[in-house]
Amino acid sequence: MNLGAPGALTLFVTLSDPERAFCASRGGVEGFPFSRALVILLLTLFFLERSTSMKRLSAMVIFVLLCSLLLASCGKTSEQKQMESDLNKRVMQLHDSGMAKMRQAQALDAQLDSAKALHDSLAAKFPKNAAGHSGDDIAQAKGKIESAQAAMHAWMSTHKPYDPEAKHDEVMAKLNADVQELTNQATQFDKAITDATGTVENHRKFASELLAKPSKKGKK
């Protein structure tokens, strides 16, 4: 079907966003100035409608070249690719750091269990001396660790790997969201680890002091 210059112009102009619509169909975003290639292409179509057969042949060659240029205009620029690559590396670094924090938190969680068992044992053996010393802080510390771990697991369950073929603006939005989420998780893990470490040390100190009292009495 011979669409003609007026028809082609109407087709492109009626699109609310011709550049995004066209490039979306190609699975990319603009690289070479799309609007410039589009204007040249429309002018070529206009010329084809009013040219002689010889001129029309030359114009057809130009038309084919411009079509190729127009399609190529939808590739990502090297700068955009580098931005995506750098941000994806940042996400991976934060993820690796988060996993290390999770392992540290898991080790502390086991120490909290041991501290709770020791606390209950001492409270049963020395009820008077252990009076007023609660194990509630252990439960609170474990709760913070569990919350941090749950946040990491939730992110990993919905995380999708970086797709270099996706649109640049969508890729950057997703990667920036990942950076923000992982940064928040790192802060959450740091607080949980600090709190758990302090709780474990406090109960160790209490147990040491409590167990030292009977031995001192035995020496007298």
Displacement of CA 164 from its chain's centroid (Å): 14
Domain definitions of the chain by residue range: 4-72, 78-219
Q: Is residue 133 classed as helix, strand or coil in its secondary structure?
A: coil
Contact, 91 vs 175, CB < 8 A?
A: yes
- Phi/psi region, residue 133 (left: phi>0; alpha: psi -120 to 50; beta: rest), is beta
Displacement of CA 217 from its chain's centroid (Å): 60
List, for residues 111-129, the tens digit of each pLDDT value: 999 999 999 998 888 888 8
List, for residues 157-213, the tens digit of each pLDDT value: 999 999 999 999 999 999 999 999 999 999 999 999 999 999 999 999 998 888 887
Contact, 144 vs 195, CB < 8 A?
A: yes
Contact, 141 vs 192, CB < 8 A?
A: yes
The pLDDT, as a whole number, for residue 79 is 95
